[in-house]
């Protein structure tokens, strides 16, 4: 299933006044149109290969203007002609150049396209904070899913079991996030300080007791679990930088590029 098809399924869950944030894989006319059909707004990074001329359109400021996009003539492969016909023929969008700064790195300039047209209410500075938040909300959470919950290496051998493995990891992740959301009031709604790893460890310690306790005892244990999650806060680490290197040295053996049975047969000959 392609990313665009996945995005269509996700757009169906959008509600009025929601704001969808995505990277440059989704910054197309069709994506914005599907978002607007749900009564929502989008802040999508424009693909670097798409031309942008800030001298044209209605100018809101330097690197900020409104332009009219026209519907493409070719129907995308992932849509039927009937679905494509329901999309409006033009879209008024706002293209904004954002400056993403990070300590120790060169400034990065990106262009986002958005349906939030009010430049006074949604300034470039606010859009920058919003799009920077996407890194924490998406990329870091994907790292939690793969590394913290150990989904980097799937051992299943059939497509059906791989799907079950992925869904079981997503189920566990959503369970932990639900616990953290219930614990958020105890942490004064400072959700960014709650630890997913800490929530996982506290839940694992409590599972045996919750499985055998009575209903009244379960309620007390659950309240104690939420309190532990709310007090096990992450330390404040502003501008934290870590080198992207592998700590452990690789062993001096070649990688397995054939099935184990084939390699064992070669050793026996």
CA-closest candidate to residue 186, choices 170, 172, 202, 173: 202
Determine the pLDDT at residue 7: 44
Mean pLDDT of all residues belonging to the chain? 86
From the number of C-beta atoms within 10 Å of its C-beta (0-12, 13-18, 19+), residue 75 rates as middle
Determine the pLDDT at residue 222: 94
Distance between CA atoms of 164 and 136, rounded to whole angstroms? 27
91-101: buried (b, 16+ CB within 10 Å) or exposed (e) per residue? Answer: bebbbbbbeee
Q: For strand 19-22 and strand 41-45, is the pairing parallel, antiparallel, or unpaired?
A: parallel
Judge contact between 225 and 244, C-beta under 8 A.
no
List phi, psi (to 5°) of 266. Answer: -70, -35
The model's pTM: 0.64
Tokens of 250: 């690789």
Determine the pLDDT at residue 205: 93
Which residues of the chain, if any, have pLDDT below 70? 1-11, 103-107
Determine the pLDDT at residue 269: 80
Determine the pLDDT at residue 92: 93
Helices 159-183 and 196-212, axial angle in degrees (round to 10): 90
Determine the pLDDT at residue 10: 58
The helix (H) or strand (E) run that includes residue 100 is strand 90-100
| Residue tagged 């004064």 (tokens) | 188
Determine the pLDDT at residue 113: 93
Determine the pLDDT at residue 196: 92
| Residue tagged 């929530």 (tokens) | 199
Determine the pLDDT at residue 103: 67
Sheet architecture: strand order including 58-61: 19-22, 41-45, 108-114, 90-100, 64-70, 58-61
Tokens of 106: 């060169």
């Amino acid at each position: 299933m392609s990313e665009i098809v996945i995005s269509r399924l996700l757009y169906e869950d959008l509600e009025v006044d929601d704001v969808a944030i995505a990277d440059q894989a989704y910054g197309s006319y069709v994506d914005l149109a599907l978002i607007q059909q749900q009564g929502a707004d989008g802040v999508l990074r424009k693909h670097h290969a798409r031309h942008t001329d800030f001298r044209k359109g209605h100018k809101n400021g330097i690197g900020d203007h409104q332009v009219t996009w026209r519907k493409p003539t070719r129907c995308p492969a992932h849509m039927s002609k009937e679905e494509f016909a329901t999309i409006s023929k033009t879209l008024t969008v706002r293209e904004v150049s954002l400056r993403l700064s990070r300590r120790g790195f060169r400034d990065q300039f990106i262009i986002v396209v958005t349906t939030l047209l009010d430049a006074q209410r949604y300034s470039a500075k606010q859009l920058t904070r919003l799009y920077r938040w996407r890194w924490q909300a998406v990329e870091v959470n994907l790292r939690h899913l793969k590394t913290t919950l150990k989904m980097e290496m799937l051992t299943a051998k059939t497509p059906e079991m791989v799907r079950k493995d992925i869904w079981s990891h997503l189920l566990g992740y959503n369970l932990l996030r639900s616990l953290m959301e219930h614990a958020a009031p105890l942490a004064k709604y400072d959700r960014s300080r709650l630890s997913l790893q800490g929530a996982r460890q506290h839940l694992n310690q409590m599972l045996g007791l919750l499985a055998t306790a009575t209903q009244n005892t379960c309620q007390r244990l659950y309240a104690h679990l939420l309190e532990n999650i709310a007090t096990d806060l992450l330390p404040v680490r502003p501008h934290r930088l870590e080198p992207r290197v592998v700590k452990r040295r690789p062993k001096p053996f070649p990688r397995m590029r054939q099935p184990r049975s084939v390699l064992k047969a070669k050793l026996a000959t």
